[in-house]
């Protein structure tokens, strides 16, 4: 496909604005690691919230959603919609605790919560395990999306694509630090949302689609429209709905949806001005992530079923695209090839924005682990701030190179999503309980991490060769969760708890409250600050109300598009009631209380 001059002008303007912001932000980002990785801890909630949602607005996400919708229907999105429960738990319970901890990265948490050699090992190992291995895997899926988009829309080969994306993203990420990432995220999110909504409107009004009415009445599409799977068939509703909503959200660690917060979400909370800004940022992120963004992608995915009913039709339409990347997720960029001049330039700029916003965040986040939790902590504790920032910029480049190389070996986004879910299966509950149960120790986390990884490899590569019966994806996930959970619980009770001095310091620093800390609180001196807010049940209620509210907005939008006005009204009323209830609960949570010392 050939872009017109207008398209290239729009793309050029986007690049120019992005690089200008990165250069402007670089003026102060190199002063210290606090500035480079946390932007001086003075960022407002709205900017941080938009930054988080821009990060998850990756170019591979619409590809993933398209893959899901084409294979499993709209209801298949519960595989990631269920993580809203995790997100709302972070909003109302964990955001304030992270900001209160005062750590620079969520890995520094390990030596605040635990002690001795196990804590040091956990911090050092996970700095490489997450900051490099997991991080590179995620960035590779983002680059893969860029490869597919460029192959379909621009007829650019994979190597050229990853080189162009890598160079530009590394340039402003390494120069501007987190501040540059957050500011460019705001611009990139604006481009991405405008492009996605406008593209969806144009696509569904193509003559071959016939507008919303023609799309929703198409026989191949009607069977894909259910928001919740058919409960008459357990083989459908158990893997698509029951497992994600009942088990997956609290038991599986997945980047960006970590139970208890973590990763780049924790980084944004730690960069907030105060606890309320951290809460506001995560609330805005979850509202936008689940209620605002999905429908443009879903509509294009449904339209792709009409135009490209199978993989052969995609391959025939784009003969220059490598055969190994032809999959259902390619249908999203394939549909964008129908866009006219001008709009095509905006959409391509929006997709470039999506790629770059995700990559830049993961580069800065992964680099923070490498610098703060590995190099500075264990290699050169006396390193100057200038040297640490330099190491951060070098590691940014190296992470991007590794991700680009791996991207050339992957075939589709759903493949990587499933692998990451399986590797994290069974560890999520650890990240929830470690704030509220004193008995969790470093060996708990080490056991959970290694057991889940070994089980994932066994189920993926050794299960069938041993002659064992083939397992469905959800059965693998449940088996992994069960084995890992039993394993880390056994290790927890078989090993010594963290020493009492460390537990006392952690409790007085973060003041999480709850009965799980009673044995520690009983050992504190009379003058110690133990003033937890005592409102954990109310915070859990806020989490549930918030989740119902955002789901209701998501459903109301869907029912409106489906022209089901009665269901739209009901979902809208539930959402309105939820908003009122949340405002009331929030006023209760923020009511000043005297401190007990």
User: How far is Cα 39 from Cα 44, in angstroms, rounded to an integer?
Assistant: 11
Pair of tokens at residue 582: 């949340």
Does residue 505 lie in a domain region?
no
Instruction: Quote the pLDDT of residue 235.
Output: 81
The 8-class DSSP code of residue 104 comes to S
Nearest to 271 by CA among 478, 94, 51, 67: 51
Cβ atoms within 10 Å, residue 554 = 23
Domain boundary among 383, 416, 449: 416
CATH number, domain at 208? Answer: 1.20.1730.10
Q: What is the DSSP string of 521-561?
A: HTTS-TTS-------HHHHHHHHHHHHHHHHHHHHHHHHHH
Does residue 400 lie in a domain region?
yes
The 8-class DSSP code of residue 323 comes to G
Does residue 225 lie in a domain region?
yes
Residue 271 phi, psi dihedral angles, 5° rounding = -85, -5
Residues in the chain, pLDDT under 50: 595-597
Domain boundary among 392, 416, 440: 416
Helix (H, G, I), strand (E, B) or coil at 383: coil
Does residue 518 lie in a domain region?
no
Name the packing angle between helices 158-204 and 5-29 (round to 10°): 120
Residues 6+ apart with CB under 8 A from 27: none
pLDDT tens-digit readout, 407-463? 877 655 555 556 666 677 788 899 999 999 999 999 999 999 899 989 888 887 788
User: How far is Cα 456 from Cα 449, in angstroms, rounded to an integer?
Assistant: 11
User: How far is Cα 509 from Cα 570, in angstroms, rounded to an integer?
Assistant: 44
Domain count, the chain: 2
User: How far is Cα 429 from Cα 416, in angstroms, rounded to an integer?
Assistant: 22
Does residue 294 lie in a domain region?
yes
Pair of tokens at residue 372: 């703060």
Length of the chain: 597
User: How far is Cα 270 from Cα 291, in angstroms, rounded to an integer?
Assistant: 25
Does residue 472 lie in a domain region?
no
User: How far is Cα 297 from Cα 196, in angstroms, rounded to an integer?
Assistant: 7
One domain, residues 397 and 540:
no
User: How far is Cα 52 from Cα 368, in angstroms, rounded to an integer?
Assistant: 17
Does residue 483 lie in a domain region?
no
Residue showing tokens 């010594």 = 496
Q: What is the DSSP string of 61-74?
A: HHHHHHHHHHHH-G
Domain boundary among 416, 437, 456: 416
Cβ atoms within 10 Å, residue 38 = 25
582: enclosing H helix or E strand: helix 565-589
pLDDT tens-digit readout, 212-228? 999 999 999 999 999 99
Domain that holds residue 586: 536-596
Helix (H, G, I), strand (E, B) or coil at 586: helix
One domain, residues 317 and 186:
yes
Distance of CA 79 to the CA centre of its chain: 13
Distance of CA 332 to the CA centre of its chain: 20
One domain, residues 401 and 545:
no
Instruction: Quote the pLDDT of residue 597.
Output: 42
End-to-end alpha-carbon separation of the chain, Å? 69
User: How far is Cα 305 from Cα 299, in angstroms, rounded to an integer?
Assistant: 10
Residue showing tokens 């133990």 = 530
User: How far is Cα 223 from Cα 219, in angstroms, rounded to an integer?
Assistant: 7
Give the rounded percent of residues in the chain with a pLDDT score beyond 70.
94
Residue showing tokens 């109302």 = 92
User: How far is Cα 83 from Cα 539, in angstroms, rounded to an integer?
Assistant: 18
Does residue 165 lie in a domain region?
yes
Q: What is the DSSP string of 45-64?
A: HHHHHHHHHHHH--THHHHH
Pair of tokens at residue 316: 């025939």
User: How far is Cα 397 from Cα 66, in angstroms, rounded to an integer?
Assistant: 31
Q: What is the CA radius of gyration of the chain?
A: 24
């Amino acid at each position: 496909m050939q872009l017109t001059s207008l398209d290239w002008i729009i793309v050029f303007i986007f690049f120019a604005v992005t690089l200008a912001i990165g250069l402007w932000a670089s003026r102060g980002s190199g002063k210290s690691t606090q500035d480079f990785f946390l932007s001086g801890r003075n960022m407002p909630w709205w900017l941080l919230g938009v930054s988080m949602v821009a990060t998850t607005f990756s170019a591979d996400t619409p590809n993933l959603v398209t893959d899901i919708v084409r294979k499993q229907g709209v209801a298949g999105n519960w595989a990631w919609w269920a993580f809203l429960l995790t997100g709302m738990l972070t909003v109302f319970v964990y955001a304030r605790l992270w900001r209160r901890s005062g750590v620079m990265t969520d890995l520094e948490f390990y030596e605040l919560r635990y002690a001795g050699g196990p804590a040091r090992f956990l911090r050092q190992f996970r700095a490489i395990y997450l900051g490099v291995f997991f991080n590179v895997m995620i960035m590779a899926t983002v680059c893969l999306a860029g490869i597919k988009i460029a192959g379909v829309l621009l007829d650019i080969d994979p190597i050229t694509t990853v080189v162009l994306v890598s160079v530009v993203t590394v340039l402003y990420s390494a120069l501007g630090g987190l501040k540059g990432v957050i500011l460019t995220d705001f611009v990139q999110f604006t481009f991405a949302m405008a492009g996605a909504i406008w593209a969806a409107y144009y696509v569904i009004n193509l003559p071959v689609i016939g507008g919303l009415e023609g799309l929703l009445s198409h026989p191949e599409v009607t069977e894909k429209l259910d928001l919740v799977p058919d409960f008459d068939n357990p083989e459908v509703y158990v893997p698509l709905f029951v497992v994600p909503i009942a088990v997956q959200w609290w038991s599986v660690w997945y980047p960006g949806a970590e139970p208890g917060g973590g990763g780049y979400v924790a980084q944004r909370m730690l960069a907030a001005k105060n606890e309320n800004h951290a809460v506001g940022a995560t609330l805005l992120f979850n509202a936008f992530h689940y209620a605002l963004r999905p429908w443009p992608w879903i509509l294009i995915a449904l339209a792709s079923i009409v135009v490209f009913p199978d993989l052969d039709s995609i391959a025939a339409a784009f003969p220059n695209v490598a055969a190994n990347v032809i999959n259902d997720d390619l249908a999203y960029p394939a549909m964008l090839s129908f866009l006219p001049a001008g709009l095509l330039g905006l959409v391509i700029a929006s997709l470039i924005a999506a790629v770059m916003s995700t990559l830049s965040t993961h580069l800065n986040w992964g680099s923070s682990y490498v610098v703060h939790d590995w190099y500075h902590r264990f290699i050169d504790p006396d390193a100057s701030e200038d040297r640490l920032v330099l190491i951060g910029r070098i590691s940014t480049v190296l992470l991007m190179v590794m991700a680009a190389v791996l991207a050339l070996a992957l075939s589709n986004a759903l493949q990587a999503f499933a692998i990451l879910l399986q590797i994290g299966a069974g560890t999520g509950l650890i990240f929830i309980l470690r704030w509220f149960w004193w008995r969790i120790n470093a060996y708990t986390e080490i056991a959970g991490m290694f057991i889940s990884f070994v089980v994932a490899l066994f189920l993926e590569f050794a299960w069938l060769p041993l002659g064992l019966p083939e397992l469905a994806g959800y059965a693998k996930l449940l088996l992994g969760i069960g084995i890992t959970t039993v394993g880390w619980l056994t290790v927890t009770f078989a090993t010594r708890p963290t020493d009492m001095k460390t537990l006392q310091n952690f409790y007085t620093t973060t003041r999480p409250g709850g009965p799980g800390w009673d044995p520690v609180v009983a050992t504190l001196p009379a003058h110690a600050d133990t003033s937890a807010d005592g409102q954990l049940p109310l915070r859990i209620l806020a989490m549930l109300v918030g989740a119902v509210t955002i789901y209701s907005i998501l459903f109301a939008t869907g029912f409106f598009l489906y022209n089901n006005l009665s269901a739209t009204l009901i979902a809208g009323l539930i959402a309105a009631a939820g908003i009122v209830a949340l405002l009331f609960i929030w006023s209760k949570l923020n009511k000043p209380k005297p401190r007990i010392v």
